[in-house]
Amino acid sequence: MADGPIAKLLEELARLPGVGPKTAQRYAFYLLNRPKEQAQALAGAILQAREQVHRCSVCLNLTDADPCAVCRAPGRDHGLVCVVEEPKDVAAMDKTHEYRGVYHVLHGAINPLRGIGPDDLGVRALLARLNDPAHPVREVILATDPDVEGDATALYLAKLLKPLGLRVSRIARGVPEGGDLDYVDEATLARALAGRSEW
């Protein structure tokens, strides 16, 4: 058990986020008990993704092509840019099938406690993109997370972008679809009240 290759595998698996020794053990013995091809497929997928995936030069999303599939899509509205924190937010947004614009991925949010400022995020690339006369942008939707860091980032970007003469918007805050009102936390309910619309 404390043998070399198993210990090494346990160690590497335990580096994954949220994976402790028990989960690493579970994954390791699963990989050791499955057909060899499956373990090789996982290792190959990791290597290939790490080799081929990089940031899109336009929107900074992770992609294996450049520009990425979204930035290349002719059916997309390139005058509408949705700013998100992480690549997974692009996936979440696209799953709605409601949004037909393009994206810009910041790869994080402003977080003074962790020493993350605008220069550590994809802000400069966003400005360069908005200033490019070849691709005029009409509106920027700020879709950073609805938490302190996401709000700070949205506020910062709004101040920075409004002078450029663009429409700048923030996604709506309120009660989520479905579920019970009495399970919604007070902060969300207060936001939903403050942001009520006339019917």
Binding mask 38-77 for a copy of itself (x = CB under 8 A): xxxxxxxxxxxxxxxx-------xxxxx--xx--------
Shortest distance, position 69 Cβ to a copy of itself, whole Å = 6
Tokens of 5: 């290759």
Tokens of 119: 């220069």
Contact positions with a copy of itself (CB under 8 A) in 14-33: 15-18, 23, 25-32
How many residues in the shown chain lie near a copy of itself by CB under 8 A? 54
Query: Judged by CB under 8 A, does residue 116 bind a copy of itself?
Result: no
Shortest distance, position 43 Cβ to a copy of itself, whole Å = 4
Binding mask 78-107 for a copy of itself (x = CB under 8 A): --------xxx-xx--x-------------
Shortest distance, position 138 Cβ to a copy of itself, whole Å = 24
CA angle 44, 49, 53 (to 5 degrees): 160
Query: Judged by CB under 8 A, does residue 122 bind a copy of itself?
Result: no
Q: Which residues bind a copy of itself (CB under 8 A)?
A: 1-6, 8-9, 11-13, 15-18, 23, 25-32, 36, 38-53, 61-65, 68-69, 86-88, 90-91, 94
